[in-house]
Structure 1
Amino acid sequence: MKKSDFRFDLPQELIAQAPLAERSASRMLVVPPGDGGFQDHRVHELPGFLRAGDLLVFNDTRVIPARLFGRKQGSGGRVEILIERLLPGGEARAQVGASKTPKPGNLIELDAGGVAEVISRDESFHRLRFHVDGELESWLAKAGRMPLPPYIQREPGVEDAERYQTLFARASGAVAAPTAGLHFDQPLLDALRARGVDSAHVTLHVGAGTFQPMRVDDIREHRMHSEWINVGAALVAQVRRTRAAGGRVVAVGTTVVRAMESATVDGELHPFSGETSIFIVPGYRITSADVLLTNFHLPESTLLMLVSAFAGRERVLAAYAHAVRERYRFFSYGDAMLLSRNA
């Protein structure tokens, strides 16, 4: 299977540049199993498609203000830093954008104050040691900028600090939001609870690699960047109780599917904490979730491949064609789709 098998035409004007006024006002394309017709709804109608005893699983990662700017000490060349992961000892793994790639030993004078020292380079990432006022994560909360995706053609505003986080974000470490979760506001969560739908959480810290394009056409040659996950014992117990009672597991976003599949052995979910570089493509049998709520993803992206593994490539691409015709909003601040797993 090739990357080009997941290509579709997307008009630029359908790429959402800002969130709607209300989170749950986004549209929701319902994709029934089999060849049933597509249904156009709104996210606030989600409780009507779930039933008592179902389990919603959210990703509780929290986006850190991971974008920084500075100048190379000496040459004065401008530098943009996107932190991919915080490391012990005031260090971080980061993408560094500059006219000339900085070398180990180079210093970057940060616009927000302090200095980033280049320690080493590993493929497309640099290891940086930050010399700043206080602990790095606390300093970033004041000095960093929200790392909006590259397809959002504007600088982050005040509203993004709140709207590019989910309501249940609590474990800091992501550089991109788990975007399906952005659609949930308190009235929707209350309605789901009243419906008898339970909820649980996993953690997957979305890394900068999520925005990097696949550079090979044969998808078997692609290697995913690793991300840190935590699938706790409480979540595993909830899933087992849900299944035993005949309920469905509803994954809110592709990151939840990746986390749970990484913790699945021989079809059985187990507690797991650590790194994952799982790459899910059609032909892979997903067993950890029965229903998926997800945003619309980039053409030829690994996330589109995962959704195609979940519901079938032809079915998913037909749904995307419908979404384009009906002028759905795409990507992080865009609309959502609700799919059932391929049998």
Structure 2
Amino acid sequence: MKTADFDFELPPDRIATHPARPRDSARLLLVGESLSDRVVRELPDLLRPGDLLVYNDTRVIPARLTGARGAVKVEATLHKREGDDAWAAFARPGKRLKVGDTVAFAPGFSAVVEAKREGGEVRLRFNVGGAGLFARLHEHGFMPLPPYIRRDAPDEQDRADYQTVFAAREGAVAAPTAGLHFTPELLAALEARGIRRVPVTLHVGAGTFLPVKVEDIAEHRMHAEYGEISPDTAEAVNATRAAGGRIVAVGTTALRLLESAASEDGRLAPFAAETDIFITPGYRFRAVDVLLTNFHLPRSTLFMLVCAFAGMERMKAAYAHAIASGYRFYSYGDTSLLMRAP
């Protein structure tokens, strides 16, 4: 299939720059045999007692840094941890950096360029590691908002807005955005409905926003991301399926991790490894029955994934309806609840 098969026109004013308040007041498009306009707080009524929500508990770190190499200003966005004190990062201006250069981000906080890679990517080794490095990032870094959310200046409110209610384990440089719609009140209503929830962890990388640059999607290569599924979560998923309940993935990150760990018959095993799974139409889903997910970029791997999950023609019709009906798109936008195509 061609990347152009997944293109569509999106008016710029459909791109959300701030989230709905309260979070569960966002709109929700139910996509099944037909389309239905709903609201996120109605989610308990759209699911069934005995269903199991699987959410991503990763926590976004302030991964965007500004510093200098001598007189040259440098911007770096960390996107993948490669050691206690080392990260892969997208740097600007990457071409002017050399292996061995030191970039100073703040007094006592710096990194050495250890390697240069394609597309402005570098490997940075910081002068502090572990919890100390995370503390420096929280002190000097900015939230790594997607490039389509433009700000004249960093917005401190984003430190709260760009974090899910589930956030627990630091390491992501992009939010698992379907989780941004949940509130304590919504979680309580889901529990009262008999819908349980369990966590997985996928530390989302900035590669999720990289465009697909090849014409033939079979030639695209995904950035690998680290994920974990605990024995308790695997057991809960398997027990739910055995009892006839559905597995509801909160976001494409949870779905990709579940599908990475599932066997051919859908049985889930504990998992602690990297995944670069790339799901396109024709993929046979083994673990997930229902998907809650925001509206994605045209020509993106995530739009390809939802087309694989719910059907290409159905998703094109759903997106056309969403655009015509004023739904808000992307990370801070509205959401959709997709039933898996037969």
Question: TM-score, with normalisation over the residues of structure 2?
Answer: 0.96
Q: Distance in 2 between matches of 1:299 and 1:277?
A: 20
Deviates more, 1:327-336 or 1:256-265: 256-265
Q: Distance in 2 between matches of 1:336 and 1:182?
A: 10
SS in 2 for 1:169: coil
Q: Distance in 1 between matches of 2:57 and 2:96?
A: 34
**CA displacement at 1:50 relative to structure 2:** 0.8
Identify which of 24, 27, 42 aligns with 1:45: 42
Is 1:249 aligned to residue 247 of structure 2?
yes
- 1:201-280 aligned at under 5 Å gives the runs 201-267=199-265, 268-280=267-279
Q: Distance in 2 between matches of 1:144 and 1:324?
A: 34
After superposition, the C-alpha distances for 1:20-78 in whole angstroms (9 at most, x for unaligned) are: 22110100000113xx2x110100000111111110010001001000001112xx111
**CA displacement at 1:101 relative to structure 2:** 3.4
Q: Distance in 2 between matches of 1:308 and 1:64?
A: 30
Could you tell me whether the CA contact under 8 Å between 1:112 and 1:143 is conserved in 2?
A: no
Could you tell me whether the CA contact under 8 Å between 2:94 and 2:122 is conserved in 1?
A: no
State the one-letter code of the partner of 2:26: S
After superposition, the C-alpha distances for 1:71-119 in whole angstroms (9 at most, x for unaligned) are: 112xx11110001123334221111111733110111121465222101
Deviates more, 1:128-137 or 1:281-290: 128-137
SS in 2 for 1:192: helix
Could you tell me whether the CA contact under 8 Å between 1:77 and 1:99 is conserved in 2?
A: no
* Aligned residue in 1 for 2:32: 32
* Aligned residue in 1 for 2:321: 322
* Aligned residue in 1 for 2:122: 126
* Aligned residue in 2 for 1:110: 105
Identify which of 77, 80, 102 aligns with 2:75: 80
Deviates more, 1:93-102 or 1:133-142: 133-142
After superposition, the C-alpha distances for 1:212-262 in whole angstroms (9 at most, x for unaligned) are: 101101000000010001111111111111111111110010001100011
> How many residues were matched structurally?
338
State the one-letter code of the partner of 1:332: S
State the one-letter code of the partner of 2:41: H
Identify which of 60, 65, 70 aligns with 1:63: 60
Shift of the 216–195 alpha-carbon distance from structure 1 to 2, 3 Å rule, reads same
SS in 2 for 1:45: helix
Shift of the 281–71 alpha-carbon distance from structure 1 to 2, 3 Å rule, reads same
SS in 2 for 1:201: strand
Deviates more, 1:125-134 or 1:285-294: 125-134
Deviates more, 1:202-211 or 1:96-105: 96-105
Question: TM-score, with normalisation over the residues of structure 1?
Answer: 0.95
Shift of the 105–149 alpha-carbon distance from structure 1 to 2, 3 Å rule, reads same
Identify which of 180, 183, 195 aligns with 1:182: 180
Q: Distance in 2 between matches of 1:264 and 1:284?
A: 13
Gaps of 5+ in 2: none
* Aligned residue in 2 for 1:296: 295
Q: Distance in 2 between matches of 1:239 and 1:132?
A: 39
Gaps of 5+ in 1: none
Q: Distance in 2 between matches of 1:291 and 1:220?
A: 25
Could you tell me whether the CA contact under 8 Å between 1:148 and 1:156 is conserved in 2?
A: no
Identify which of 88, 91, 96 aligns with 1:96: 91
Q: Distance in 1 between matches of 2:38 and 2:107?
A: 44
Q: Distance in 2 between matches of 1:111 and 1:200?
A: 39
Q: Distance in 1 between matches of 2:238 and 2:322?
A: 35
Alignment root-mean-square deviation, CA: 1.4
Q: Distance in 2 between matches of 1:99 and 1:288?
A: 40
Could you tell me whether the CA contact under 8 Å between 2:80 and 2:225 is conserved in 1?
A: no
**CA displacement at 1:156 relative to structure 2:** 3.4
* Aligned residue in 2 for 1:11: 11
After superposition, the C-alpha distances for 1:145-200 in whole angstroms (9 at most, x for unaligned) are: 11111000114322111111111111111000000000000100000000000001
* Aligned residue in 1 for 2:169: 171
Could you tell me whether the CA contact under 8 Å between 1:90 and 1:135 is conserved in 2?
A: no
Q: Distance in 1 between matches of 2:318 and 2:171?
A: 32
Identify which of 189, 192, 195 aligns with 2:190: 192
State the one-letter code of the partner of 1:229: G
